[in-house]
Structure 1
């Protein structure tokens, strides 16, 4: 998928003078059709070309229509005005050309007065006929937006919000007499047969349309029941689980054959991750099938067992993480697992709006929650991942309106949030109201970048920047802290959150939105630009007590440190040995930087600017096999991450306890694990096997937090 961006053309600039005015000249019907046919010919030459995505520009946001087609005033195409949203009005048009499929479906349309124009319908799910409206169909566009399309005399009706266009039934009384063809088929039997043919030809949206016409045409309940079953099965294949469940339950007749209705309803509920409801339906299916002559019991039992496994995961958080990791592949990223969320709840936060709070005490290293993605496409190409997530979100909200409550209530940014109408989760004209600008605002503020597997992503050979984008609605309620008490990791579409220190019942749980920058002003500028807040965590609040001159001086020395370290890093030169003179220079700069940290401010706080030079010194001394210095600077790395460790040589300490000291303000990262491993290596080289084992144990425990489950941390180094 690709993002469509239309460049600003001189003609488009000139069109601004026409805002609110009729076009001075519109292309004739013959001109429109002739140009359209040239596009169709190009389309025929590349039928398998990937369909791009038109992502909305938030600065151009306008709300979706919340009116019914029965409540708007319809007007002829000739009354459309340039760059205008025609509020309270609508148009009814017949499609008189095949659609040209690009970022949207572009068709030539005609109204009941003989006026002709161009209609572009964007953001429709593939499960809908509206994603490629067939010639001859009649549609109503509510509160249409009429825009200049770039070229001279080129205008079109642009439908961005999928709920702003409605496909009218052929017998709908709204259709003007001039556009009426009458029903294409006369009887319910003919419509059912047409649906069966479309199903066999794998044209599932058309099959749903035909089955719907059959149901609307017939009054015979005995006829309707099997058609509801057919439509339920088709909707299941389309991933339209809400509709599939409604159809399945509507197909019941009160007899033993209803096992299939409950079976389909159970499968639909499972698709929505509503496992308790799924179990109820499947148990009803099992009960009915056991007394019937059907051969469906085996399949029902299999689905029932699968559902029970998900319920156990929801209740106990009992996961076979190694098996989950082994099942992952680039083509199998969506794991069949349930979400374990009962240790946390959403509530009002004193920090920002809502947050997550622990419902029980959670010890360091334990699961806080495990969540299956609400939405996550299998797209790990960075340039396409955002567009893929946006497109999936729109589709799923259209196809499964029950998702609206968990998704559309998320924070979307102050500008977009101000345009909420309150109707975002309502059904109007049989379709959920989906505002694509609101969806994009929610995506930008709440999505996570996720590797296929965090444990594999820690390997040195892991491809850089190879990330999918996903939305985890529960995790999205977590507020940010630069020194959070949880750490997240990923296995396919599963987000695993573990406590990085002991969490008390009722305590708010925090996460890092992005990796924390060393300097307080730089990281908060990022938070302000991305989410509209300045962090008030213990670290940021403490660092703001430093005089501005000190902060500026610290930045200058940090730049000098990074320049010196990057000039010749550990591993450079023969056999990875760094000259002593270079080490002494870095040591001197690190000490200079340390002196700029006021003891009264940084007592008990991380000193993030010191992590890089101390890590560098650990590597440099490791290359020279100076094991005592590796231990000295390894402890400083841990201290600078905020862990309370002894800095005096020879002091006794227990590495594993550094995660559980009450009141600590620390930051857990993969670099902590790496430092502990190098310290274990140094202890072993010095003959201190007990301390080597303890550092190794602490590293393994830290790696559990980083990767989400127990793994060997030796994979993080070449």
Structure 2
């Protein structure tokens, strides 16, 4: 986090001179005039730099030594220390919130608070508030004598109640309002003005001021705060407030209704059903309860039986509606220790090729399909939701964070808020997130805008280990991940997925895995290819480059006739490349370097209406992906059934959209050559494969011609 050093102050020393309160205030006012607070202005996110990581404080403000601002040392994390300050300026809101603050001795400084969500009042700290910063980090801010207190971890700063005894006497103002009723009215006013964080704060003050015996007064305040927390997406708090609002009367239907909505927001559908059933018993005439109850039952059917209307889900998708109302079907899988990397995901039932392995709704996924912003948006959402809903810690914070060391206190409640370490969050994000299109089905179409990719967190899917030739394939519908079996899977078998699209050369794909996840793949393809010598790998690399240059020079586009000389050249180069694959090494293994030239030749001969040759090279495409198909001498063999290739190709075949496209081309060629039954079987095999790739669709017309 350190920026340029002040030459007059070394790290760890107290600055010989700081800007005065007047200088700080003057500069701050200038910044305030220029800030853009329009609703459409994108708010930047300060993402963490892992090389400068430091742990969040796990101490209470009541356990640390309170020091004056004048004792802060530059580029220092003041462990075991804390500061308590009053905000004496309006907030400047950018990537963080910058305010001018003052301690009990009149010392002033700049306070920058980052990573607070919009649901928190600390996302725009009101002037006059008292805040405590635990184990503050003090840094030079670039200009002469300019420093600031930098708060990266959201749980390191606490908004103190006005009458908190930890506040030094000279900063104590006493409550701004005198009575619980005044605080309630202030909360109602803030709610009507849609200032929901302030409304929650005021309702909390009203509850505190009402005392322990004011049950009749407090019940509706709890109900109001529950409703406000529901709007903010703070479902844990909404649930607690709803249950606290109960009085034992028939009117408690509102409490159970709101508790049901809160637990629904947490995807706890069984608990939600119980609360909603109680609400219906107390008041069966409210249509809203019945509607929520029916929604909950639909989610439970999805969870328990894997019953989904994928077509309806797809039809409801749009760039403005990516968060589908859906449950997660996970009962066919479980997490266990893996012999490969830590934990893995295993099948609890035998699963047939093409069947659902699991369906998971994202725990966290922002609606941000701009690749340059998607990572920052997911990081910000993870931090906010872990602050707003501490129960998420059990799901999210136990995921693998890379090399970052945990303190073990992350997610625990200290000073009323969960400890959220942004560096742990970022480690978890980078090692476990998925890139997701709006829908995989749309992504297979010829005319799709490029670069539309969001990032999300699907914790259950994160336990899948990698294989270059996996037994499952994932697809996306908005924030729903669909996993289908590529081939038959036995009960107890470990499940695998591809972390990234597989590269043709063994060393290149493993370097990606090593750089991003710290391991090399041990799948059958990688282990087999490692038996090939380094010299042969270099020869394949060199020849592949020649093949790719030649193919790219004249691609077989639709309607274009590729000259014979170009085709003969590619055939010659492809044969030379094929000869560089040792039979004793590859056998039935995929030969991925040959996929591109085989596909090129299939399309080139199709363009020339030479369907016998197109058939020959289409079969080679499938064989180079590792599928068992007829050899060149018998391409039109009538007893070959492509519908069985998904279950009869062992555990080293690779499923991609290119396999589906090749099957379509084979169907066309078989049809022209009079092999109608084989053409029909290829279409059926293509539809089957397309469902695996897209998650639900068998409409091959979407692929275009």
TM-score by length of 2: 0.98
Residue of structure 2 aligned with 1:288, choices 269, 282, 287: 282
- Which residues of structure 2 form unaligned runs of 5+? none
Is 1:383 aligned to residue 377 of structure 2?
no
Per the alignment, residue 691 of structure 2 pairs with: 704
> What does 1:139-288 correspond to in 2, within 5 Å?
139-219=131-211, 220-288=214-282
Residue of structure 1 aligned with 2:353, choices 352, 359, 364: 364
> What does 1:6-155 correspond to in 2, within 5 Å?
12-14=4-6, 18-43=10-35, 48-155=40-147
Residue of structure 1 aligned with 2:574, choices 578, 582, 590: 590
Q: Distance in 2 between matches of 1:225 and 1:681?
A: 71
Per-residue deviation at 1:693?
0.7
Q: Distance in 2 between matches of 1:268 and 1:701?
A: 39
Per-residue deviation at 1:216?
1.0
Residue of structure 2 aligned with 1:656, choices 643, 649, 652: 643
Is 1:306 aligned to residue 295 of structure 2?
yes
Q: Distance in 2 between matches of 1:389 and 1:24?
A: 41
Which secondary structure does the structure 2 equivalent of 1:19 belong to? Answer: coil
> What does 1:508-523 correspond to in 2, within 5 Å?
508-523=494-509
Aligned length: 700
Q: Which runs of 4+ in 1 moved over 2 A?
A: 13-17, 44-49, 648-652
> What does 1:487-636 correspond to in 2, within 5 Å?
487-571=473-557, 575-636=559-620
Per-residue CA deviation, residues 663-689 of structure 1 (Å, 9 max, x unaligned), is 341000000000000011111111221
Per-residue CA deviation, residues 524-579 of structure 1 (Å, 9 max, x unaligned), is 0000111111111111011000011111111111011101111111128xx41111
Q: Distance in 2 between matches of 1:46 and 1:434?
A: 29
Per-residue CA deviation, residues 134-158 of structure 1 (Å, 9 max, x unaligned), is 0000000000000111222111000
In 2, are the aligned partners of 1:604 and 1:664 still within 8 Å (CA)?
A: no
Which secondary structure does the structure 1 equivalent of 2:62 belong to? Answer: helix
Per the alignment, residue 477 of structure 1 pairs with: 463
Q: Distance in 1 between matches of 2:620 and 2:8?
A: 62
CA distance change for structure 1 residues 682 and 15 in 2, over 3 Å: closer, same or farther?
Answer: farther
In 1, are the aligned partners of 2:602 and 2:613 still within 8 Å (CA)?
A: yes
Q: Distance in 2 between matches of 1:83 and 1:42?
A: 29
Per-residue deviation at 1:47?
7.0
Is 1:396 aligned to residue 390 of structure 2?
no
Per-residue CA deviation, residues 414-450 of structure 1 (Å, 9 max, x unaligned), is 2x2x2x1001121111101100111111111111111
Per-residue deviation at 1:46?
5.8
Which secondary structure does the structure 1 equivalent of 2:158 belong to? Answer: strand
Q: Distance in 2 between matches of 1:97 and 1:530?
A: 43
In 1, are the aligned partners of 2:9 and 2:16 still within 8 Å (CA)?
A: no
Q: Distance in 1 between matches of 2:261 and 2:111?
A: 37
Q: Distance in 1 between matches of 2:450 and 2:346?
A: 33
Q: Distance in 2 between matches of 1:564 and 1:520?
A: 22
In 1, are the aligned partners of 2:6 and 2:140 still within 8 Å (CA)?
A: no
Q: Distance in 2 between matches of 1:127 and 1:256?
A: 32
CA distance change for structure 1 residues 533 and 221 in 2, over 3 Å: closer, same or farther?
Answer: same
In 1, are the aligned partners of 2:473 and 2:486 still within 8 Å (CA)?
A: yes
* Most deviating of 655-664 and 138-147: 655-664
Per the alignment, residue 3 of structure 1 pairs with: none
Per-residue deviation at 1:478?
0.6
CA distance change for structure 1 residues 509 and 115 in 2, over 3 Å: closer, same or farther?
Answer: same
CA distance change for structure 1 residues 47 and 447 in 2, over 3 Å: closer, same or farther?
Answer: closer
Q: Distance in 1 between matches of 2:377 and 2:516?
A: 20
Q: Distance in 2 between matches of 1:230 and 1:355?
A: 44
Q: Distance in 2 between matches of 1:714 and 1:288?
A: 53
Q: Distance in 1 between matches of 2:436 and 2:224?
A: 38
Q: Distance in 2 between matches of 1:82 and 1:466?
A: 43
Per the alignment, residue 668 of structure 2 pairs with: 681
Q: Distance in 1 between matches of 2:473 and 2:201?
A: 47
Q: Distance in 1 between matches of 2:40 and 2:592?
A: 51
- Which residues of structure 1 form unaligned runs of 5+? 1-5
Q: Distance in 2 between matches of 1:167 and 1:504?
A: 54
Which secondary structure does the structure 1 equivalent of 2:430 belong to? Answer: helix
Q: Distance in 2 between matches of 1:243 and 1:341?
A: 27
In 2, are the aligned partners of 1:453 and 1:490 still within 8 Å (CA)?
A: yes
In 2, are the aligned partners of 1:77 and 1:115 still within 8 Å (CA)?
A: yes
Which secondary structure does the structure 1 equivalent of 2:612 belong to? Answer: helix
Which secondary structure does the structure 2 equivalent of 1:212 belong to? Answer: helix
In 1, are the aligned partners of 2:688 and 2:698 still within 8 Å (CA)?
A: no
In 2, are the aligned partners of 1:644 and 1:664 still within 8 Å (CA)?
A: no
Is 1:441 aligned to residue 427 of structure 2?
yes
Which secondary structure does the structure 1 equivalent of 2:110 belong to? Answer: strand
* Most deviating of 656-665 and 636-645: 656-665
